[in-house]
A = this chain, B = another copy of it.
Amino acid sequence: MTSTAELLARRNLTIGPYSPLFYDEPLQFTSASGVWFTEASGERYLDGYNNVPHVGHANPRVVHAIAEQAATLNIHTRYLNERVVAYAERLLDTFEPRLDRVLFGNSGSEANELAIRIARQLTGHTGMIVSDYSYHGTTITLAGLTTGLQTAVPLDPNVRTLRIPDLDRDQRPEAAVLADALAELDAAIASLQETGFGVAACLFDPLFSTEGMPRVPAGLTAGIAERVRAAGGLVIADEVQSGFGRTGSEMWGHRYAGLDPDLVTMGKPMGNGHPISGVVTSETVLDAFGSTNEFFNTFAGNPVSAAAGEAVLLEMAEHGLQDRALALGRTARARFDEFAAAHDFVRAAKGTGMFLGLDFAVDGEPAPGLAKRVVEEMKARHVLISRIGRDESVLKVRPPLAFGEAELPILLDALESSLDAVRR
């Protein structure tokens, strides 16, 4: 294997020095299988972070499906193909009956772009409401509503942001916290209407992952949806992180969050790493958009991507991965709660299913330095996790859904030991 220093130098001269890397000393893997990475040295790392390899790195069923279909036929949707239709049927079967149409894409960015494009056309408005620390993709429109990542552009004038409250940080009564958040939303809607943009849509991750998994007041997401609809806007759920059984209790994050969206976008885990994304919506919405736009995406809905997506759903079903996420997630969350109780620098345990976190704070102030040290301590113990949230003070534990009973104690024990290490 090329040395890290040499590879970094070559990388800087091709894709450039700005392409982000994890960790103070970047990692270079030669292979991965299930939930384990392997370095050239033979050293293994447990993957407690990546949600893209949903049914496990190098999943044999997915690899076989891709290889077999690629060796048979890979073509766009301008010819009829049963595989993409069969996959669409299988995917839509996981949704409530109202959400019965799907448009495919190649990335989460493409899915969110399309959802917003549809919402703007159907409503005749352009205004967007997002959270004040969120990320939905890389395009111009999405960069214009990005609040959770450095970009050189200011927010677009037709974007309003909403602070997502966290009951673990805001000690006031839940009703008061909710009322404040909805009042802020009312002001955002009024501002969009006064400036003539109107409300096209709100766009939220139902789990508020980038935001740091705040514990939101009951009724917040439903209240947002109700007000946005009353203003003539649509509700978009960005399930790039929360979908495909991540929460354990539900296949789709919007159901976990009590949200009833008009459009659901999905990406990362959909093809286990094969580039595929989707927008799921209703016949009514698709009719209004499709009948007035020639819409065609060359790679989208090709049978190889469909084969990858289908294999993910089959693998999830055969191994009961959603149920496993529920069971293991409960075990893990109980231990995270113990960690929170045991360490005064852990403000709260966060999350649900196989998406968990620990919010670090010292004297009531976010402690990103501690969180970073824990991430590096975990890496030293060969367990990979990361950080999220406005202050980057929340540990992000979001392993492949294939994470099993055998691996969970390894992660939890490494975390206990890492927490002890930074306390010293």
Contact = CB atoms under 8 A, between A and B. Distances in A.
B141 A73 contact: no
B107 A297 contact: yes
Contacts of A406: none
Interface string A96-112: 00001111111111100
A75 B50 contact: yes
B15 A104 contact: yes
Interface stretch (A285-293, A326-334, A414-422): A285-293
A88 interface: yes
A66 interface: yes
Nearest to A90: B14
A272 B299 CA distance: 10
A151 interface: yes
Contacts of A89: 10, 14
A383 interface: no
Contacts of A116: 140
Interface in A248-277: 267-268, 272-276
Interface stretch (A55-63, A190-198, A211-219, A366-374): A55-63
Given A28-B80, A151-B293, A139 B113 contact: yes
Chain A interface residue bracket vs B: 35 or more
A73 B38 CA distance: 10
A292 B143 CA distance: 13
A4 B81 CA distance: 10
Contacts of A120: 140
Contact of A286 (B16, B26, B73, B104): B16
Interface in A325-355: none
Interface string A43-81: 000000010110001101011001100111111111111
Most B C-beta atoms less than 10 A away, residue of A4, A22, A74, A290: A74
Interface string A282-305: 010011011111111111111011
Given A294-B149, A294-B150, A88 B138 contact: no
9 contacts: A14-B101, A15-B88, A15-B104, A20-B77, A20-B294, A21-B78, A28-B81, A29-B73, A149-B294
